[in-house]
A and B are shown apart, each in its own frame.
Chain A
Amino acid sequence: MPGQKNIKNVVLDSLWRDNPIFRQILGICSALAVTNLVLNTMVMGTAVIFTTALSSLTVSLLRRWTPRVVRMMIETLIIAFYVILFDQTLKAYWPDMSRNLGPYVGLIITNCIIMGRAEAFANSNKPGLSFIDGLFSGLGYALVLIAVAMIRELFGMGALLGTPMPFFSSSLWDRWIIMVMPPGAFFTLAIIVWIFRSLRFSKSEQTKEAEK
């Protein structure tokens, strides 16, 4: 049934192989839940960097042995392994943070980005390179999250990392409660995406002009 296969491919294509910035945004969404506080976001970011770097490394080390047909299952298994390690460590040594982050650390396993890096890069590159690639992918992701968190915590609670900030915690600033709630996260991320994509489009137009 060729018709069906087409839809499947197209849908899966748009999920995995779309442009990098879009793909980046996809994976970010579930982590938005913890971006109401910068501290929580930094821990979450560390979890993502840890997992992406090490799972890319591991997938790359095993790439000559992993049979193609079970490739995605193996990747999921490896990612889950590192996530559980991080989650359990957090639970044992920083229980308050573990409770704050709730199920969201575990949900890193289903994060499209980590799987995407493993598929696109680690499968066909050397361990050293894969590790670096994973490290920086995770870092880029974490930085966007922290940017969202800084805006949310500053505008919504007048503080950063728990410490009240000069202007924003004074009576001159009317706290934007919406930033503390889910809509605030969506709007902040939307604006960041807007800025990035506009820059990207203007850059590509500049290169086109230069090439003329």
Chain B
Amino acid sequence: MKIKNQIWFPVLYIFILTLVLSSILILFGLFTRKRVEDNTRIALERSVLEVLPIDLADKIPTNQVHQLYTKLIRDPDASSGKAFRYIEADSLIAYILPVQGPGFWAAIKGVIGIAVDQKTVTGISFYEQNETPGLGGEIVSQTFRRQFVGKKLGAGKAPLEIRMPAEPIDENSVHAVTGATQTSMRLSKFLNEALLTWQRAVTEKGE
């Protein structure tokens, strides 16, 4: 009575194999879980470091990101309107405001740096996006991000406008990525909403 010829053997076989393989995978998953969570945290911290108005190395090694971050950045407090604070020698140099919202395909998450004058933008960086590569995905490129440095937040409904490539821009606006209308519109929407909320929050507490 060979076990292989029993009618229930195939079911048992699949069951056992699935059990064994799944267990190995789940164990491996637990093993890597901390690492994966750290990666998300480090991505955010790296973005924060990127928008600071200081000259840091182009690609900070992953194991140094957290060190540098804890050295330079302080958590938000009542006066910073939920923005992180870049402090040097006990004085506030810049705010780093996390922004996120729906992009064309999925959520876009990033940070925007604003100098202590609450007007000048020090930079913008995205640590999560799933837009169309080559189009909306270009928001992470230096070409797009470089525009933001030195711009000023205007008064009015849209402190930082993202305009179509054909239109002229001024100190309160930047050009959108060519061909990425949907991504740009959505980015503009949640970016400005976040900026307005932040402006309101800091002017209430400060001055």
Instruction: Give residues in A with beta carbon < 8 Å to B.
Output: 36, 62, 65-67, 69-70, 73-74, 77-78, 81, 84-85, 88-89, 91-93, 95, 102, 180-181
B residues near A81, Cβ cutoff 8 Å: 21, 24-25
Q: Which A-chain residue is minimally distant from B14 (CB atoms)?
A: A70
- Main secondary structure on chain A at its contact with chain B? helix
Instruction: Give residues in B with beta carbon < 8 Å to A.
Output: 4, 9-10, 13-14, 17-18, 21, 24-25, 28-29, 32, 35-36, 39-40, 43, 130, 133-134
A36 shortest CB reach to chain B, Å: 8
Q: A66-B13, A81-B21 are in contact. Are A181 and B28 (CB under 8 A)?
A: no
Contact B17–A74 (Cβ < 8 Å):
yes
A residues near B29, Cβ cutoff 8 Å: 88
B152 shortest CB reach to chain A, Å: 32
Contact B134–A91 (Cβ < 8 Å):
no
Q: Which A-chain residue is minimally distant from B34 (CB atoms)?
A: A92
Q: Which B-chain residue is minimally distant from A62 (CB atoms)?
A: B17
B residues near A62, Cβ cutoff 8 Å: 17
Contact B17–A77 (Cβ < 8 Å):
yes
A123 shortest CB reach to chain B, Å: 15
B59 shortest CB reach to chain A, Å: 11
B residues near A73, Cβ cutoff 8 Å: 14
Contact B9–A67 (Cβ < 8 Å):
yes
Q: A85-B25, A92-B39, A180-B134 are in contact. Are A65 and B13 (CB under 8 A)?
A: yes
Q: Which B-chain residue is minimally distant from A91 (CB atoms)?
A: B36
